[in-house]
A and B are shown apart, each in its own frame.
Chain A
């Protein structure tokens, strides 16, 4: 379980403090699939960086499975449990060859070389980048780099997987595939997933959605409660799903369907009932 209490964080730049988190309380049970939404600069990346010890709280506590990230020697234990895909893949790439880059995490876990090989191969094929395994990561396209970054985190097989806008530069098909991979991990391996995204559709099948605003958790709930509530979303600059806004307009025009429709399939169902 991840337990965050009264977390504050300020970046120190020059002689100024930029308060990025202003009192976050959060409990994420093991095995949950949670999504963080919220406007630019609301603190999403800052928050998740605390969970694997990349940032240390200015005040408050972050505890993962009873381990407090604040204590120096605990960082290592936490990093073994918590894997992370960075918002910018360039910040994550460490090696000159894709397969070595993906091996980096597992190597740090002290796994046997045969196990490392096995995991690298598995991650490469899962993310469909086997053909680039010998390439230099920084000579890949934007989306290809993002796939390398995802493969690297997957190879660590962490208990908690944080993904900070992992699919922002992927084509729609690759995006769907990555979503499927993390949902499968969540279902079959009980991996806890923390996904930060601006794509509202990526939150539809989550267990819980958190909306951040100005360094605080503005609200949270199940996808239908949050994503299905257009006025709530617009308050926090989040795009409602196409079908949800369509449902709202149809209802306004006197067509009697549910307003919390999220997907095309649900919309088809609703409209067929009318027909």
Chain B
């Protein structure tokens, strides 16, 4: 599904003295099957954008087209099919059933799956997010640890296999193994089909590993929209608005300040490692010849 945002704007409580502009003039096209990361400082409008794309908020300016259709106010249903799934920034806001099983099953039942299919779907999805089916199926989603709650929230949405998957800071509060399991699955899910993924994160290193494109928001406006490696070239601007660059990339910059002459077109830790190994091995060889 093609997503087009044309001069999209959103103002909370528009027309009242409390009006607050959250987004201004956003133009963005996300092609079917693309994986786009969204980053931006606290309060820059990321969650607002996610809710607009998911149809939970209605644009106050401009429009959102999905496959050419204006989705304004249509909720989550487009052409009668449930096709956009969103993982909320606060998982509790998503729960309404009394057991983990029923919450994850909700989307599947809605799609008209048989109870057998529902059960196997729930089992499969809980496994993906790293929750033991037997231990968690009868628990209340509201009485879990923070990370466990987020895993259930992610499972609820993944189970529906949406065409467009919107995730608002899905890895907040997850331990390293769970984080990796979920980002790996997103990559797999994305490579496998036509799913369009839009993922908000503060962890620029993490999103740049999985997203093909990164959109940077600042104060409600779109600041950059480019490939990860291009975004990192804007180091000064990123730091100025409160974002970070990966440590591996800062290391290259700091080393160059000390007289190393390393290329700065890589930012993944493994690439930096290879670069340093090559540098030092060459260096040692050169020294060897001299000695």
Contact = CB atoms under 8 A, between A and B. Distances in A.
A264 B169 contact: no
A40 B174 contact: yes
B248 A40 contact: no
Contact of B273 (A41, A143, A249): A249
18 contacts: A41-B145, A90-B90, A141-B43, A144-B42, A171-B41, A173-B41, A173-B242, A198-B174, A237-B176, A237-B178, A238-B175, A238-B176, A242-B247, A246-B269, A255-B277, A255-B280, A264-B250, A271-B276
Interface stretch (B114-122, B154-162, B223-231, B252-260): B252-260
Nearest to A91: B92
Interface stretch (A57-65, A162-170, A219-227): A162-170
Interface size bracket, B side: 35 or more
Interface size bracket, A side: 35 or more
B265 to A, nearest CB: 18
Interface core residue of A38, A45, A141, A254 (most chain B CB under 10 Å): A141
Contact of A172 (B179, B202, B276): B202
Interface string A95-125: 0000000000000000000000000000000
Interface string A190-203: 00000000100000
Interface of A: 11, 13-14, 38-41, 45, 87-88, 90, 139-144, 147, 165, 168-175, 198, 237-239, 241-243, 245-246, 249-250, 253-255, 264-265, 267-268, 271-272, 274-275
A88 B244 contact: no
Nearest to B40: A171
Contact of A142 (B90, B138, B260): B90
Contacts of B12: 139
A250 B269 CA distance: 11
A267 B277 CA distance: 14
Interface of B: 12, 40-43, 47, 89-90, 92, 138-140, 143-148, 151, 169, 172-179, 202, 205, 239, 242-244, 246-248, 250-251, 254-255, 258-260, 269, 272-273, 276-277, 280-281, 283
A237 B254 contact: no
A88 B146 contact: yes
Nearest to A236: B175
B177 A242 contact: no
Contact of B92 (A14, A88, A268, A275): A88
A130 B243 CA distance: 21
Contacts, number: 138
A241 B144 CA distance: 28
Contact of A253 (B139, B277, B283): B277
A143 B269 contact: no
B179 to A, nearest CB: 8
A238 B178 CA distance: 10
A40 B145 contact: yes
Given A88-B90, A239-B176, A253-B281, 14 more contacts: A13-B140, A13-B143, A40-B173, A41-B145, A88-B146, A142-B47, A142-B90, A170-B202, A246-B273, A250-B273, A264-B251, A268-B254, A271-B276, A275-B283
Nearest to B272: A246
Contact of A250 (B143, B202, B277): B277
A40 B144 CA distance: 10
A147 B42 contact: yes
A79 B12 CA distance: 37
For the complex of A and B, 5 pairs with smallest distance between CB atoms: A40-B147, A143-B42, A173-B242, A172-B244, A239-B176
Interface core residue of A11, A13, A40, A173 (most chain B CB under 10 Å): A40
B144 to A, nearest CB: 8
B273 A173 contact: no
B208 to A, nearest CB: 13
Nearest to A40: B147
Given A40-B148, A268-B251, A174 B42 contact: yes
A173 B179 CA distance: 22
B246 A142 contact: no
Contacts of A139: 12
Contacts of B258: 268, 272, 275
Contacts of A242: 205, 246-248, 269
B174 A141 contact: no
Interface core residue of A13, A142, A165, A239 (most chain B CB under 10 Å): A142
